[in-house]
Every structure is written in structure tokens, then in C-alpha cells.
């Protein structure tokens, strides 16, 4: 469920989810991979004490 929300509001997660689907992963596997990606982003933000920045190439699309 969190992946569905993030897919719409976070282009990084959405692109990663779509990539996994294109690789032939099942929907639930792609959703779990996207959730793990989100956890890694959150961990990095906490560890480095820096805000998450969406790459410019994803903002323009």
C-alpha cells in the first residue's frame, strides 16, 4: 500500500517500481522492492542528516 502512494508522489520510487515491472517481476515483488528502496532512502536521510533531493532529470518528466 505504501508503494502505491509513493509511486504517485515520489518519482524516484515510481520509476524504480516501473523498472522492476519491466524486468518481469511480479507486482508484489516489485512493490516490496519499492518499499525497500524507500526504507533505504529514509535510512540515508537519517544517517547523513541531509534532506532527500529528487534528481533534476526526474523532476522535469
Helices within 1-61 (DSSP H only): 2-9, 11-22, 27-48, 56-59
The total number of residues written for the chain in this structure? 61
DSSP code for 4: H
10 Å Cβ neighbour count for 13? 22
Which regions of the chain are under pLDDT 70? 1-8, 58-61
Q: What is the pLDDT of residue 2?
A: 53
Q: Model's pTM, two decimal places?
A: 0.74
Provide the residue range defining the domain that includes 41: 2-59
* 8 A C-beta contact, residue 3 and residue 17: yes
Structure confidence by residue, pLDDT tens digits, 6-18: 556 788 888 899 9
Q: For the chain, what is the domain count?
A: 1
Amino acid at each position: 500500500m505504501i508503494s502505491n502512494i509513493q509511486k504517485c508522489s515520489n518519482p524516484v520510487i515510481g520509476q524504480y517500481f516501473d523498472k522492476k515491472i519491466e524486468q518481469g517481476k511480479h507486482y508484489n515483488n516489485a512493490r516490496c522492492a519499492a518499499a525497500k528502496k524507500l526504507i533505504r532512502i529514509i535510512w540515508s536521510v537519517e544517517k547523513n542528516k541531509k534532506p532527500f533531493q529528487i534528481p533534476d532529470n526526474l523532476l522535469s518528466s
